[in-house]
Amino acid sequence: MSAQIGVTGLAVMGANLARNLARNGYTVALHNRSIEKTDALLEEHGDEGDFVRTETLQELVDSLEKPRRILIMVKAGAPVDSVIEQLTPLLDPGDIVIDGGNSHFEHTRRREATLAGQDLHFVGVGVSGGEEGALLGPSIMPGGSRESYDWVGPMLEKISAKYHGEPCCRWIGTDGAGHFVKMVHNGIEYADMQVIGEAFDLLRSGAGIEPQDQARIFSDWNAGTLSSYLIEITAEVLGHTDDRTGKPFVDVVVDSAGQKGTGRWTVVSALELGSPTSGIAESVFARALSSQQDQRVLAQESLAGHEATVELPENFVEDVRLALYASKLVSYAQGIDMLTAAAAEYGWELKLDEIASLWRAGCIIRAELLDDIMKAYAGKDRPANLLLAPAFTEAIAGAVPAWRRVVSIAVQLGIPVPVFSASLAYYDGLRRERLPAALTQGLRDLFGAHTYNRVDTEGTFHTMWGADRSEVEGVDTH
Ligand code: 6PG
């Protein structure tokens, strides 16, 4: 029996994707560096569909119909290169190598170019939804040549999550586009989680609401405009009591947030693209600060707080909800701005409505909001910024008074709200008529003759700061 797709790398994500493919009627050839994992999968789940057991990459390749489709599910980085190196000599022109890990999009671009030189297709696929998503239907973001999508698209669409019957899988664009979009998804995921954390901290430290009671608040919020997977599971985590101590679970977990890298990559890429992704950046920095336990212990003893006493508004919980919602919108706006910048930089025709549409189900950031975001980009009049889409301009306007109250209360109480406040600063920066960037330009011109433009005439100018301060037309020579 020849298999329609091969999967190499059978850790949880690989195993679950292989099972998902088999459950959807595809014959799946299995390969893992150690045969034990392959056998364990067959032992436990072999009856879920048609699997072909293979012991070597050569066997895997030989078991597949042509053009071959091979899904690599190994750890991102060097292991992917190592599998590609072993695999490619065994393949024929037209075969398709698929990387379903969280690979860096630049690596995907490089690998795609190398394999294209050998007449092989390389498809970098962003997969979101965690272990359960991989098994039951993830959100899938495939990049690579349009032609390769004809071979892998139908399969991926079939195993993907469905939003009202629509597959959450679309061809994203050439080379690294799929992994880029997955990376930005993760950046938004970081910001989403951080704003939830800030809301939790404000409600606990500001309003004294205990986790169990907050679980109910988050559940209520999940029934409204904030409805999303992350808000739903926040209610679950906050409602959980630790078995050993009887304390709220959140109180027995060390408050150092881990990170595997995709959030950091998002911010590095945003910096390179010149896209102001401040909320996402603050969420990455918040995890970094949380992990500086030694410094935090010393700072708790030494740094003064001088917190003020603040009377909380009666509807503080609702204010926090609105601040969370507004900050969340900003994170999406910033993520989407990055996608626009990347499309121009890398020559991708990213369709923002389609990207929003495939984040509506299956992935970690799935949210009701994404349906409206999709609609905002679906028409001809695409907004220059998500916040400028009429529906969102109005929605955020309704949240602004509460947002300002919450940020100022947080500042007075000494509760750090890096993403709430950075997002508000972004919002104000965007809407402000004059920014102090004019002064920055003046300073740059004084110390470095970097020149400036004038508001009243075309051209580039320099003031002779060290001489008579006359103005000359000039070019920045530094
Ligand atoms: C997803 C998740 C997934 C993974 C993150 C975790 O979309 O399914 O984003 O890819 O859970 O990479 O990232 P951190 O360990 O950096 O939080």
Per-residue pLDDT of 343-398, as tens digits, reads 999 999 999 999 999 999 999 999 999 999 999 999 888 999 999 999 999 999 99
Contact by Cβ (8 Å): 202, 209: no
Calculate mean pLDDT across residues 434-438.
98
Calculate mean pLDDT across residues 420-446.
98
For the chain, residues classed under CATH 3.40.50.720 are 5-175
Calculate mean pLDDT across residues 163-189.
98
CATH number of 5-175: 3.40.50.720
- Which amino acid residue places its CA nearest to atom 9 of ligand 1? 186
Over 80: is that where the pLDDT of 92 sits? yes
Over 70: is that where the pLDDT of 230 sits? yes
Question: What residues pair up with 126 in beta bridges, in sequence order?
Answer: 141
Pocket-testing residue among 73, 364, 365, ligand 1, by greatest number of atoms within 8 A of Cβ: 364
Alpha carbon of 315 to ligand 1 centroid (Å): 34
- 247 within ligand 1 shell (Cβ under 6 A): no
* Domain 182-431 fold: N-(1-d-carboxylethyl)-l-norvaline Dehydrogenase; domain 2 (1.10.1040)
Over 70: is that where the pLDDT of 461 sits? yes
Bigger pLDDT: 478 or 434? 434
Q: What is the pLDDT of residue 55?
A: 98
Alpha carbon of 205 to ligand 1 centroid (Å): 28
Q: In whole angstroms, what is the distance from residue 130 CA to residue 111 CA?
A: 25
Calculate mean pLDDT across residues 250-266.
97
Alpha carbon of 75 to ligand 1 centroid (Å): 13
Displacement of CA 344 from its chain's centroid (Å): 19
Over 70: is that where the pLDDT of 250 sits? yes
- 16 within ligand 1 shell (Cβ under 6 A): no
Catalogue the active-site residues.
182, 189
Alpha carbon of 186 to ligand 1 centroid (Å): 6
Work out the number of other CB atoms within 10 angstroms of the CB of residue 478.
Answer: 7
Band of pLDDT at residue 279, cut at 50, 70 and 90: very high
Q: What angle do CA 443, 448, 450 make, to 5 degrees?
A: 80
Over 90: is that where the pLDDT of 255 sits? yes
- 76 within ligand 1 shell (Cβ under 6 A): no
Q: What is the pLDDT of residues 186-199, one digit of tens each?
A: 999 999 999 999 99
Angle between helices 418-431 and 316-346 (to 10 degrees): 60
Task: Classify burial at 77, counting beta carbons within 10 Å of its beta carbon; exposed 0-12, middle 13-18, buried 19 or more.
Answer: middle
Calculate mean pLDDT across residues 279-301.
98
Contact by Cβ (8 Å): 445, 462: yes
CA neighbor of 168 nearest in space, from 159, 180, 181 = 159
For the chain, residues classed under CATH 1.20.5.320 are 437-473
Band of pLDDT at residue 124, cut at 50, 70 and 90: very high
pLDDT cut 90: percent of the chain above it? 98
Over 90: is that where the pLDDT of 470 sits? yes
Over 70: is that where the pLDDT of 11 sits? yes
Q: Which residues are known binding-site members for NADP(+)?
A: 9-14, 32-34, 74-76, 102
Over 80: is that where the pLDDT of 475 sits? no
Calculate mean pLDDT across residues 156-165.
98
Over 80: is that where the pLDDT of 478 sits? no
For the chain, residues classed under CATH 1.10.1040.10 are 182-431
Over 90: is that where the pLDDT of 477 sits? no
Pocket-testing residue among 17, 73, 99, 102, ligand 1, by greatest number of atoms within 8 A of Cβ: 102
Q: Which CATH superfamily is domain 437-473 in?
A: 6-Phosphogluconate Dehydrogenase, domain 3 (1.20.5.320)
Taking phi over 0 as left and psi of -120 to 50 as alpha, with beta for the rest, 399 belongs to alpha
Which residue, chain included where needed, has tokens 């930005």?
184
Which residue, chain included where needed, has tokens 């969102």?
392
Pocket-testing residue among 260, 280, 355, 358, ligand 1, by greatest number of atoms within 8 A of Cβ: 260
Over 80: is that where the pLDDT of 251 sits? yes
Band of pLDDT at residue 474, cut at 50, 70 and 90: confident
**Closest atom of ligand 1 relative to the 190 alpha carbon:** 17
Calculate mean pLDDT across residues 324-351.
98
Task: Classify burial at 99, counting beta carbons within 10 Å of its beta carbon; exposed 0-12, middle 13-18, buried 19 or more.
Answer: buried
- 139 within ligand 1 shell (Cβ under 6 A): no
Alpha carbon of 14 to ligand 1 centroid (Å): 15
Angle between helices 177-201 and 278-290 (to 10 degrees): 60
Q: What is the pLDDT of residue 370?
A: 97
- Which amino acid residue places its CA nearest to atom 6 of ligand 1? 260
Bigger pLDDT: 45 or 475? 45
Bigger pLDDT: 476 or 49? 49
Calculate mean pLDDT across residues 232-258.
98
